[in-house]
Amino acid sequence: MSDLFPKKGHDHDRCVHSAIAQAEKVCDDASARFTDMRRKVFTLIWQSHKAVTAYELLDALTSEGQRVQPPTVYRALEFLTDLGLVHRIESLNAYFGCDRPDCDHLGQYFICTECGRVAEEVNEDMSNAVRKAAGNVGFAIQATTVEIKGLCHDCATH
Amino acid sequence: MSDLFPKKGHDHDRCVHSAIAQAEKVCDDASARFTDMRRKVFTLIWQSHKAVTAYELLDALTSEGQRVQPPTVYRALEFLTDLGLVHRIESLNAYFGCDRPDCDHLGQYFICTECGRVAEEVNEDMSNAVRKAAGNVGFAIQATTVEIKGLCHDCATH
DNA sequence: GCAGAAAATGATATATTATAACATTTCAAC
DNA sequence: GTTGAAATGTTATAATATATCATTTTCTGC
Residues of chain A with C-beta less than 8 angstroms from the C-beta of B152: 138-139
Task: Please tell me the CATH superfamily of domain B105-158, with its number.
Answer: Ferric-uptake regulator, C-terminal dimerisarion domain (3.30.1490.190)
Q: pLDDT, tens digit, for every residue of B110-121?
A: 999 999 999 999
CATH classification of B11-101 is 1.10.645.10, yes or no? no
Whole-number distance in Å between A76 CA and D2 C1': 29
Do B3 and A108 make contact, defined as CB atoms within 8 angstroms?
no
B101-128 mean pLDDT: 90
Q: Give the distance from residue B154's alpha carbon to the nearest chain A alpha carbon, in angstroms.
A: 9
Higher pLDDT, A63 or A80: A80
Element (H, E) at A20: helix A12-29
pLDDT at site B99: 86
Average pLDDT over residues A17-21: 96
Q: Of B2, B128, B134, which is closest to A148 when you measure between CB atoms? A: B134
- What average pLDDT score do residues A50-64 get? 95
Q: Collect all residues from A whose CB is shorter than 8 A from any CB in B.
A: 1-5, 90-91, 108, 110, 112-113, 119, 121, 123, 125-126, 128-130, 132-134, 136-153, 156-157
pLDDT at A150: 97
- In this prediction, residue B65 carries a pLDDT of 82
pLDDT of residue A121: 92
What's the whole-number mean pLDDT along residues B9-38? 95
For A75-101, the pLDDT digits (tens) are 999 999 999 999 999 999 999 999 887
Give tens-digit pLDDT for A131-142: 999 999 999 999
pLDDT value of residue A95: 98
pLDDT of res. B107: 86
Statement: residue B6 has pLDDT above 90: yes
Give the mean pLDDT of chain B.
Answer: 94
* Domain extent listing, chain A: 12-103, 105-158
Please say if the pLDDT value at position B100 is more than 90. Answer: no
Strands of chain A (E only): list them: 86-89, 94-97, 108-112, 118-121, 140-151
Is A155 annotated to bind a ligand? Reply is yes
Tell me what pLDDT residue A32 has: 96
Average pLDDT over residues B120-140: 93
Pick one of 3.40.50.1820, 3.40.50.2000, 1.10.10.10, 1.10.287.3510 as the CATH number of A12-103: 1.10.10.10
Distance from CA of A26 to the nearest CA of B (A): 26
Inter-chain contacts counted by CB atoms under 8 A, chains A and B = 142
| Mean pLDDT confidence for A95-111 | 87
**pLDDT at residue A104 tops 80:** no
DSSP tag of A86: E
